Structure 1
Amino acid sequence: MDNNAATSQNPPLAAGLTLLASAFVAGTTLLAKALGTGTLGPAMHPLQISHGRFLFAFLGFATAAMILRPTLQRPNWKLHIGRSSLGWGGVTLMFAAAAFIPLSDATAISFLNPVVGMLLAIPFLGEKIGPWRWGSAALAFTGAMVLTRPGAGALELGAILALCAACFLGGEVIFMKKLTGRERPFQILLINNALGLTIASAVVIFVWQTPTPAQWAGLAGIGLLMATAQTCFINAMRLADASFVAPFFYAALAFAALYDAIIFGVIPDRVSWIGTALILCAAAILVWREARHASK
């Protein structure tokens, strides 16, 4: 079994799949911004955008399930409900943030979620955090505070929303760690999107507006891009170590900045670059430490 695992390793393919995943994730934020700012029709509420994301992602995974007929096992519903609730909240807040601040800023702040997950692992998973991890956490949160631009007289609403999104997604990491190894990846994704759609459907009725054809296309694009990104990333994790794969996902920041510049003409300013650099440095420290720990 170990020999099969070894021969299945393919780092170049894993890197390519991760880059694709990062491009698709940045694309979902781009479409969310277009929908939330009225580019594709009347400005759409973030709750409806996240509903579209879960609706079309679930349809994608459900179709795959009918074709592939995977073997499903008994799920841990408590963990799935906790994970899906936090994931839905994080996605909704991130889509809301994208309407207020540059995509590169929102994406950079979202990279705090592994740090939040690391901190939450102390009380919930009993993990011990060394000085290097504490230092990376402090550096990451400093970068996030820079991106909120407190010196402008008022905190940026979009940055606060993105920061809250990172906290929700960081909490989701805890549930994901508990689910990983207990259930198969496809089952986790299928149930996650089914539960996310259930939650989103329960609240979207309060803000529902009939989408235009262009908005339907945008919502479908978000869901299918996210489903494809999740599939790419999970397969990348199967083909290479997490410490190798993780750095490539930070290319989402470059894709977000590129999309924002081309579509909306938004160019990151000096404050954006400083805050982003601090968060990326913190992420690099975490990846480096995880790689060293795994090699021991």
Structure 2
Amino acid sequence: MTRQTTSHNSAAGIGIILIAMLAISFNDMLIKFLSGGYPLHQMVFTRSAIGICFSLILVQFEGGWGILKTKTPGLHLLRGVMIVVANMSFFAALAALPLAETTAIFFVAPLMITLLSIPVLGEKVGPLRIGAVIVGFVGVVIMTRPWHSGSEREAPLYVYLLPILSAFTYAANQVLTRKLGMVSKASALAVYVQAVFILVSLGFWAVAGDGRFVDGMDNPSLIFLLRAWVWPQGNDIYLFLGLGLNSAIIGYTLAQAYRMADAATVAPFEYAGLPLAIFWGWLIWGNLPSPVVFAGISLILGSGLFVFLRERQRNRPLVSRKRVHRRY
């Protein structure tokens, strides 16, 4: 590959990842906006059922049905389950926490990838990156403010564990992907994950779709997970359709960005999701992070970018070129 081709692919990959981050931020905003009236598993089913239709159309453009064949179905299933856990925990947090805070806490995922690469991949991580990881986790502590009482935070402390669980699950998924080195087309990757989302959401519907478990609950995250399915009211049906189309856009653009350019080049631009989350939080809910929260966000952002740039300098990308983002 020539230098000119490499430069072109890098520019294209950056452009596509920025489109993906805009779509992801819009997706998160819509889910938080709808979280007061609909269950999470209904939204997940709707967006994945619509999204998989668009993804199957893209499959035809990228080679036909044959590209859906795989020699590692168990790996696809495991990856899909981990992404589902990452999504569900992230979206459950959105029901109780501001969009910007939830997004910022999730962005400790690259730091967790660095830590997990030591025992799983046997990589050596130097003191500079270890220091950056520590700084990032200090940012998480500042944002969760464990020294405050419940009334001084947006939600109980355990709710803040949900985006941390999301980040950990996503990081573990990425490390396994890197270790196993799977190769698939972008549209096929999207279909695999959306299929797992559909199966899991149908399982939730079978167990809790009638809302039998929400009586007497006051935790917004649990209510969001277990509320009964209802038909979308008024213009909400168009928002559900938008979620589905957006799901296909996210699934394809993320996989395509990491297929076209090195992860070390593309990954730092995922942090564009942070200012977008702050923007939606201000525009829709009138929320701006407090100075303390801004300090935590800055530490997480700075440490994450340092780790990515350090990896790029050492020419050892953190994740596989075929990376799949947690918010499919």
Letter in 1 for 2:305: A
Cα displacement string for residues 232-266 of structure 1 (whole angstroms, at most 9, x for unaligned residues) = 23333344332222222111111111111111111
Maintained 8 Å contact 1:46/1:93:
no
CA–CA distance in structure 1, aligned partners of residues 267 and 304 of structure 2: 9
Question: Which runs of 5 or more residues in structure 2 are unaligned?
Answer: 151-155, 210-227, 318-328
Q: CA deviation at 1:157?
A: 4.5
Contact 1:58 1:190 in 2 (8 A): yes
Check if 1:132 corresponds to 2:128: yes
Answer yes or no: is the 8 Å Cα contact 2:56–2:187 preserved in 1: no
Give CA deviations for 1:72-124 in whole Å, capped at 9, x if unaligned. Answer: 24231221111111110110111111111111111111111222223223233
Matched, 1:166 2:167: yes
- Give matches, 1:253-264, under 5 Å: 253-264=274-285
- Amino acid across the alignment from 2:256: N
Counterparts of 1:133 and 1:60, CA distance in 2: 40
Once the two structures are superposed, residues 131-163 of structure 1 have per-residue CA deviations (whole angstroms, 9 ceiling, x without a partner) of 222222212211112111223213444422211
| Distance in 1 between residues matched to 2:60 and 2:260, nearest whole Å | 25
Q: Relative to structure 1, is the Cα distance of residues 295 and 196 closer, same or farther in structure 2, using a 3 angstrom cutoff? A: closer
- Partner of residue 324, structure 2: none
2:38/2:230 contact within 8 Å kept: no
Worse overlay, 208-217 or 26-35:
208-217
Whether 1:283 and 2:282 are equivalent positions in the alignment is no
1:49 aligns with 2:43: yes
Alignment of 1:206-285 (within 5 A): 206-207=208-209, 208-213=228-233, 214-285=235-306
Aligned twin of 1:6: 5
The Cα offsets for residues 35-71 of structure 1, whole Å up to 9 and x where unpaired, read as: 11x2xxxx22223333333222222212322455254
**Alignment CA distance shift 1:275-1:199 (3 Å):** same
Q: Which runs of 5+ in 1 are unaligned?
A: none
Please name the residue that 1:34 is paired with. Answer: 33
Structure with the largest fraction of helix: 1
1:26 is displaced (CA, Å) by: 0.8
Q: Which is worse superposed, 226-235 or 77-86? A: 226-235
Secondary structure in 2 matching 1:74: coil
1:8 is displaced (CA, Å) by 7.2
- Structure 1: which amino acid aligns with 2:312? A
What amino acid does structure 1 have at the position aligned with 2:125?
I
What is the SS of the residue equivalent to 1:132? helix
Give percent identity, aligned residues only.
Answer: 26
Kept after mapping to 2: 8 A contact 1:80/1:175 = no
Partner secondary structure for residue 97 of structure 2: coil
Q: For this pair of structures, how many residues does the alignment match?
A: 290
Provide the rounded CA distance (Å) in 2 between the counterparts of 1:142 and 1:286.
Answer: 15
User: Equivalent of 2:83, from 84, 87, 108?
Assistant: 87
The Cα shift of 1:279 comes to 0.5
The residue number in structure 2 matching 1:145 is: 141
Measured against aligned partners, the alpha-carbon deviations of 1:190-246 in whole angstroms (never above 9, x if no partner) come to 212212221222123313412314444333323322321232233333443322222
Given that 1:56 and 1:219 are in contact with CA atoms closer than 8 Å, whether structure 2 keeps it comes out as no
> 1:91-102 maps to which residues of 2 (within 5 A)?
91-102=87-98
Moved more, 278-287 or 146-155: 146-155
* Structure 1, 203-212 or 280-289: larger mean CA deviation: 203-212
Alignment check: 8 A CA contact 2:84 2:196 kept: no
Instruction: Name the amino acid aligned to 2:118.
Output: I
Classify the secondary structure of the residue corresponding to 1:250: helix
Aligned partner of 2:222 in structure 1 is: none
**1-structure distance, mates of 2:187, 2:300:** 31
Q: Contact 2:54/2:245 (CA < 8 Å) preserved in 1?
A: yes
Normalised by the length of structure 2, the TM-score is: 0.80
Q: Residue 193 of structure 1 corresponds to which residue in structure 2?
A: 194
1:123 to 119, 124, 142: 119
- Give the AA of the match of 1:237: Y
TM-score normalised to the size of structure 1? 0.88
